[in-house]
Chain A
């Protein structure tokens, strides 16, 4: 699907330069990360320097330049979550998964990330797994939460 998908995405945005970020977002949604060969295609087709594409892909947090796990576990570390125990939740998940934030488990099941505020501060601390938001977590609940994701 490689070339074809990227091309469809580019066509949808009319090969316009300013759609660069939107194009990368769609590729990332499709593949869960940004493979370098796709980025090279984007640079070529949009006629923008590869250095700019690489710059953007490495600047914005939403993009990943390495493959990510099936489930991306995002621990919110916004202020409200911080004062209500997010650091402990993050530590706990890191211990359970045996990875540091920003890394992926060897079996490609989970990627652990910390994010800055998911906007659900009233039910802090919050973790998002894939599309699903878990609120009012404790260390114990955070640990059992992961079992739901194969």
Chain B
């Protein structure tokens, strides 16, 4: 059915509400990539089987990522008249237990994580409310508003959550200028890296001469450690399409492209479905909502190149070329895809747009700090208790994110740093833990906001190794076009490898700084321009670790293989014999199950023994 008036949109939304809150039980299982990887698919199958056995009337749906990935697989149960109940660690076995309890007419709250209020119900369960769970307590969901709630394949459910109402509003009540104004007044800034004000960027493209323009969604989420864009695409694809349509209307474009990285097959699948549904409903394609505005979206699949996250390379790649960046100016807004004015925003930025248009710029600008408005999604990962996606208002402190939401460091170890901004960012030490997180404050530490990866590092992380890791990453991902990036990164890596091998020299550090400065200043694009950040920040904040490697040939975190030695603390050993059996190089010799000798020359430092040693009798120094 093509939707051409508001009544029909309302009807679509009502259909969605009926499916979100049916008059019998609804069970949703999170089957986004991370959910599937931890057993979500098996849980889904188990639920289906149990439901059939018990003959229950259940609406079984799949949904995207609800953010708390640490406790995946996650399953949600909604019974008429009750709030939603969220179950964690819901693998196939627990999923069966849940369904069996439901079949007995009982809500198995003993297996649940929390309940989520719907219509002001106050259940008498001994179960925390959603916002009483530390992980969710400080979150504010705008971008992730639908992820993990709706079935991403259901257009009606998206509409039921207010979806496509913003587009309707823009097309019927606002001029293109007013839309751009609203986005500008909201203070939305690019969520992909540099934080360019979105409204200003739109205006540049709007004002550029030319009757054919393009809007592009950068879904080449390449920063390792960041996956919020994948979650949005897998869990709420329509929000991106709606955002792009609103942007296209504002900028006078009728064609859009979404450039999705090759590593995200499920996101591509969800997008394909969403685009097809939106076209059928007349929300994309010729004459959107029956108006004079036409807009269609095409998918372009990346080929596996980090540099394609840089907008000029991304456009080259859409044109079917090597992803090599071009010097700016001209900016894509002047001369982009096929030489036409083009606006590129990333997934998270686009997903913010519908909410700004429907709830107004004043509401949005009321969230955050003076320079950075709204929320930001971070992927909180690494050596932290609670890993997952967290969406928080700008201005929250790093401490709140890592310790309150994240629950602190894994295994009670000591916090060392948090790495933000991926390979373009830096490592922020503990003295900045009370820093309010926004674009400017993070820049001040030498790091950047970037796309929102937040990798927590503890005392067992070697900062020289981290710098080496990022340079190794960038050496493989640099396109190789310009000299400072291609040759500079390789030489910096050469030096860091030397240091990690205990062969560092005093004069290496000044040379490293010199190389870093040139690479930063002289590279052609942002990849090279920010590549030295991990080196520069670790040099600035963790110079003592560099010195320990160079002067004492010692790796304080016991990570750099060439500088560590394994040994056994026989006093702690419980004679289980696992290490003897497992050691691939025969370095641990024993009588029966008791290790008697450790042959250092044979040890390949693979760490397999560490993994199995329950009493932690293996020493690494």
**Same complex origin of A and B:** yes
Q: Which residues of A contact B (CB under 8 A)?
A: 17-22, 24-25, 52, 55-56, 59-63, 77-85, 88, 91-92, 95, 115-124, 126, 131-136, 138-140
Complex alpha-carbon distance, A118 and B222, angstroms: 9
Contacts of A21 in B (CB 8 A): 300-301, 303, 317, 320
Contacts of A88 in B (CB 8 A): 606-608
Please name the residue on chain B nearest to A57 by beta carbon. B303
Sort A-B residue pairs by CB-CB distance and give the 10 closest, nearest first.
A60-B303, A122-B69, A78-B224, A61-B304, A119-B227, A133-B37, A117-B224, A20-B320, A62-B304, A122-B387
B341 at the interface (CB under 8 A from A): no
Q: Could you jot down 26 A-B contacts, CB within 8 Å?
A: A18-B320, A25-B301, A55-B322, A59-B479, A61-B305, A63-B303, A78-B225, A80-B224, A80-B455, A95-B584, A116-B473, A117-B224, A117-B225, A117-B226, A117-B227, A120-B33, A121-B381, A121-B453, A121-B455, A122-B69, A122-B379, A124-B387, A131-B265, A138-B611, A139-B607, A139-B608
A-B interface pairs (CB < 8 A), number = 166
Please name the residue on chain B nearest to A16 by beta carbon. B320
Complex alpha-carbon distance, A52 and B320, angstroms: 10
Complex alpha-carbon distance, A83 and B387, angstroms: 14
Complex alpha-carbon distance, A79 and B559, angstroms: 15
Contacts of B545 in A (CB 8 A): none
Is the CB–CB distance between A134 and B37 below 8 Å?
yes
Which positions 34-52 of chain B face chain A at CB distance < 8 Å?
Answer: 34, 36-38
Which of B224, B319, B461, B612 is the one whose CB lies under 8 Å from A18? B319
Interface string of B468-496 (1 = CB under 8 A from A): 01100100110100000000000000000
Is the CB–CB distance between A56 and B455 below 8 Å?
no
A18 and B422 contact, Cβ closer than 8 Å, known pairs A61-B304, A92-B608, A123-B34:
no
Is the CB–CB distance between B262 and A123 below 8 Å?
no
B230 at the interface (CB under 8 A from A): yes
Chain A nearest Cβ from B614, distance in angstroms: 13
Q: Given contact pairs A77-B224, A122-B380, A131-B265, enumerate 11 new A-B contacts (beta carbons under 8 Å).
A: A18-B320, A24-B303, A59-B323, A79-B455, A116-B222, A118-B263, A119-B221, A119-B227, A119-B263, A120-B227, A121-B455
Complex alpha-carbon distance, A120 and B65, angstroms: 11
Chain A nearest Cβ from B314, distance in angstroms: 12
Chain B nearest Cβ from A101, distance in angstroms: 11
Contacts of A63 in B (CB 8 A): 303-304
Complex alpha-carbon distance, A41 and B380, angstroms: 46
Which of B230, B303, B461 is the one whose CB lies under 8 Å from A62? B303
Is the CB–CB distance between A126 and B584 below 8 Å?
no
B306 at the interface (CB under 8 A from A): yes
Is the CB–CB distance between B320 and A83 below 8 Å?
no
B310 at the interface (CB under 8 A from A): no
Contacts of A78 in B (CB 8 A): 224-225
Is the CB–CB distance between B300 and A22 below 8 Å?
yes
Is the CB–CB distance between B469 and A82 below 8 Å?
yes
Mostly, the B contact residues are: mixed
Complex alpha-carbon distance, A105 and B263, angstroms: 23
Contacts of B612 in A (CB 8 A): 140
Contacts of A82 in B (CB 8 A): 224, 469
Please name the residue on chain B nearest to A131 by beta carbon. B265
Is the CB–CB distance between B69 and A83 below 8 Å?
no
Complex alpha-carbon distance, A117 and B582, angstroms: 29
A60 and B469 contact, Cβ closer than 8 Å, known pairs A80-B224, A121-B453, A136-B38:
no
A140 and B72 contact, Cβ closer than 8 Å, known pairs A80-B381, A82-B469, A83-B382:
no
Is the CB–CB distance between B33 and A116 below 8 Å?
no
Complex alpha-carbon distance, A32 and B450, angstroms: 34
Contacts of A135 in B (CB 8 A): 34, 37-38
- How many B residues face the partner with a CB closer than 8 A? 62
Complex alpha-carbon distance, A136 and B71, angstroms: 12
B70 at the interface (CB under 8 A from A): yes
Contacts of A134 in B (CB 8 A): 37
Is the CB–CB distance between A25 and B303 below 8 Å?
yes
B525 at the interface (CB under 8 A from A): no
Chain A nearest Cβ from B73, distance in angstroms: 11
A79 and B227 contact, Cβ closer than 8 Å, known pairs A134-B37, A139-B607:
no
Is the CB–CB distance between A123 and B38 below 8 Å?
yes
Is the CB–CB distance between A83 and B455 below 8 Å?
yes
B264 at the interface (CB under 8 A from A): yes
Contacts of A122 in B (CB 8 A): 34, 69-70, 72, 227, 379-381, 387-389
Complex alpha-carbon distance, A134 and B39, angstroms: 9
Contacts of A124 in B (CB 8 A): 381-382, 387
B223 at the interface (CB under 8 A from A): yes
A79 and B225 contact, Cβ closer than 8 Å, known pairs A20-B320, A116-B477, A121-B381:
yes
Contacts of A84 in B (CB 8 A): 382-383
Is the CB–CB distance between A123 and B320 below 8 Å?
no
Complex alpha-carbon distance, A126 and B33, angstroms: 11
Please name the residue on chain B nearest to A56 by beta carbon. B322
Contacts of A117 in B (CB 8 A): 222-227, 263
Complex alpha-carbon distance, A30 and B419, angstroms: 39
Contacts of A131 in B (CB 8 A): 265
B114 at the interface (CB under 8 A from A): no
Contacts of A56 in B (CB 8 A): 303, 320-322
Contacts of A18 in B (CB 8 A): 318-320
Chain A nearest Cβ from B318, distance in angstroms: 7
A123 and B455 contact, Cβ closer than 8 Å, known pairs A21-B301, A80-B224:
no
Please name the residue on chain A nearest to B477 by beta carbon. A116
A119 and B303 contact, Cβ closer than 8 Å, known pairs A55-B322, A79-B469, A139-B606:
no
Contacts of B183 in A (CB 8 A): none
Is the CB–CB distance between B606 and A92 below 8 Å?
yes
Is the CB–CB distance between A133 and B225 below 8 Å?
no
Chain A nearest Cβ from B275, distance in angstroms: 15
B457 at the interface (CB under 8 A from A): yes
Complex alpha-carbon distance, A103 and B469, angstroms: 22
Chain B nearest Cβ from A16, distance in angstroms: 8
Which of A17, A61, A80 is the one whose CB lies under 8 Å from B225? A80
Complex alpha-carbon distance, A17 and B383, angstroms: 46
Complex alpha-carbon distance, A59 and B455, angstroms: 29
Is the CB–CB distance between B230 and A119 below 8 Å?
yes
Contacts of B387 in A (CB 8 A): 80, 121-124
Complex alpha-carbon distance, A55 and B72, angstroms: 41
Which positions 203-225 of chain B face chain A at CB distance < 8 Å?
Answer: 221-225
Chain B nearest Cβ from A113, distance in angstroms: 10
A91 and B305 contact, Cβ closer than 8 Å, known pairs A117-B225, A119-B263:
no
Contacts of B322 in A (CB 8 A): 55-56, 59
Chain B nearest Cβ from A33, distance in angstroms: 14
Complex alpha-carbon distance, A1 and B116, angstroms: 55
Complex alpha-carbon distance, A19 and B453, angstroms: 32
Chain B nearest Cβ from A112, distance in angstroms: 16
Chain A nearest Cβ from B173, distance in angstroms: 37
